[in-house]
Amino acid sequence: MDTKAILVLGGAYFTGRIFTIMATGAGHAVTLLNRGKYSMEHYGTKQELHFDRHDISAIERMEPAIYDAVVDFCGYEPGDVRTFIEHFPGRIGQYIFLSTADVYDRSIRTAKDENAPLMESTYSCPGGPYMMKKAQLDNEVRLVCAAHGIPYTILRPAFIYGPYNYAPRESYYIRKILRGEPIPVPVDSDSEFQFVYVKDVGTAILRSLEREAAYNEAFNLCAPEVITYPAYMEMLRQVSDRPFDTYSVRVDTVIAQNIPLPFPLRASENELFLGEKASRLLGIKYTDFKNGMELAYRGFSALYTSEP
C-alpha cells in the first residue's frame, strides 16, 4: 500500500492507539488531533495537534492540508462530524468513522447485517443515549459526506477487546484473577455476545483506505463466535496462568448490588451481528477468540504485575 496522509481524530486511547501504532508501522504519515492528554510521538506520528474538536476557531486555524483519509475515533455527539468537515480548511479524500454495532433497531431479534434499520429512539438500557447518538452520527456521516463529495466508510464493531482496553471488560476479570479474588458468575443469565479483537479493527481501517469497495459502505466488525458468561469463564481458565475461584450469583442480585459485570445479562438486552461483509470486501480474517484472549491476558497481566 502506498504511503497515505492520515488525520486521526482521537487516537491516543485503546483502539485509536492501536490503529496509530499499526498505521505508523506501515509507513503512513499520521497526524493526531486530540486534547493532548497522552502523546503518541514515540510511535512515529508525523504531527500532533492538541485542541478540542468542538473548538471551531481552532479547526479553522488548521493548516489547509490534504489528507487521504480522516479517521474519526471520537465522534460522540450529533454535529461532531458536520462541524469538523464544514470548518476544516483542507481537503479530505475519505472519511472513516468508528461507530458501534449497537446502532441497530432493537426490535429486530435476528442477527443483524449492515442493511438492518438503525434505531430511531433511545432505549431505556445501559448505554442507551450513547447508542442513539452513534446512530444519529451514522446518518450524519452519510449526509454530510455526500453533500461535500467525500467518500465515507462506517465501521460498526461489536465488543472490542485487547491490550490497552480502558473499558473494564476483560481487565475486570484479569485483575481479579491476579489479586486472587473470586469472580461472580451470573448463573441464570441467558444473554449472548460477540467480540472483535482490537487489531482486527485496526486492520479493517487500513484495508478501507482508498479502497473503492469500502467507499460509502458500512461494515459490522465481529468475529463469528457467540459467547455466554459460562463460555467466557471457561475461556479465562484456558488462558490464565493461575487457577481462580468463582461464585454463583443471580442476575437480580447483580443488578441490586450493582456488581459491575461488563456484558449484557439477559437475552432481551443482547444483540448479535453478522460480520461477513468485512471479510468478503475487506479481506478481514478475524482473530480466533482464544488467541485474542491469550494476548489480552498477557498484556494486562504484564501491566498489573508491574504496578507498585
Distances (CA, A) of 45 to 11, 24, 62, 74, 268: 11, 6, 17, 18, 43
Higher-confidence residue of 1 and 80: namely 80
pLDDT of amino acid 298: 93
At residue 177 the predicted structure's pLDDT band, cuts being 50, 70 and 90, is very high
In sequence order, the 6+-apart residues with CB closer than 8 A to the CB of 257 are none
At residue 34 the predicted structure's pLDDT band, cuts being 50, 70 and 90, is confident
Checking if the pLDDT of 308 tops 60, the result is no
> What integer is the mean pLDDT of 189-208?
97
CB 171 within 8 A of CB 298: no
Kindly state the percentage of the chain with pLDDT values over 70. 96
For the ranges 1-15, 26-40, 55-69, the one whose mean pLDDT is highest: 55-69
Using one digit for the tens of pLDDT, what is the confidence trace for 212-237? 999 999 999 999 999 999 999 999 99
> What integer is the mean pLDDT of 41-69?
89
pLDDT of amino acid 38: 66
Higher-confidence residue of 128 and 87: namely 87
Distance CA 63, CA 118 (A): 36
Q: Helices 229-239 and 170-179 meet at what angle, rounded to 10?
A: 50
Tell me the residue ranges of DSSP E strands in the chain: 5-9, 29-34, 47-50, 66-67, 69-72, 91-92, 95-98, 152-157, 159-161, 183-186, 195-197, 217-221, 246-249
Residue 106 sits at φ, ψ, to 5 deg, of -80, -5
At residue 305 the predicted structure's pLDDT band, cuts being 50, 70 and 90, is confident
Checking if the pLDDT of 304 tops 90, the result is no
Average pLDDT, the chain: 93
Answer positive or negative: Cα dihedral of 141, 97, 10, 14: positive
Distance CA 293, CA 154 (A): 26
Using one digit for the tens of pLDDT, what is the confidence trace for 252-263? 999 999 999 999
Nearest to 158 by CA among 132, 192, 208: 192
Nearest to 221 by CA among 235, 240, 208, 239: 208
Domain residue extents for the chain? 5-163+195-223+272-286
Higher-confidence residue of 190 and 122: namely 190
> What integer is the mean pLDDT of 292-300?
94
Phi and psi based region of residue 231 (left: phi greater than 0; alpha: psi -120 to 50; beta: remaining): alpha
Superfamily for the 5-163+195-223+272-286 domain: NAD(P)-binding Rossmann-like Domain (3.40.50.720)
